[in-house]
Amino acid sequence: MYENKKKIRFTDTDEVKAFVKAAGKCDFDIDVIYNRIVIDAKSILGVLALGVNKDLTIGYHGEDENFENVLSELSIA
């Protein structure tokens, strides 16, 4: 389904803001997946609604060095 998948965890809202900002600069679709919920990663309200301190899966097609750097900082696996 997704070309790339990463597991991440946000510990505070500043991390969410940085993630959404980096996702917004990408020209490909990025989804945040939690259980059966799929949220557009470029939606600050959607991602904040999921909350922090949860294991999330990020699914996306494409590559962006800045986005990959943000993901690596948040990565749990």
pTM above 0.85, yes or no: yes
CA atoms within 13 A on the CB side of 32: 25
What pLDDT does residue 1 have?
84
pLDDT in tens, 27-72: 999 999 999 999 999 999 999 999 999 999 999 999 999 999 999 9
Element spanning 4, H or E? strand 4-9
Q: Domain range for residue 12?
A: 4-74
What pLDDT does residue 77 have?
66
What pLDDT does residue 58 have?
98
What pLDDT does residue 52 have?
95
What pLDDT does residue 42 have?
98
Q: What is the tally of structural domains in the chain?
A: 1
CATH number at 44 reads 3.30.1340.10
Structural tokens at position 67? 């986005």
Alpha carbon distance 41, 50 (integer Å): 11
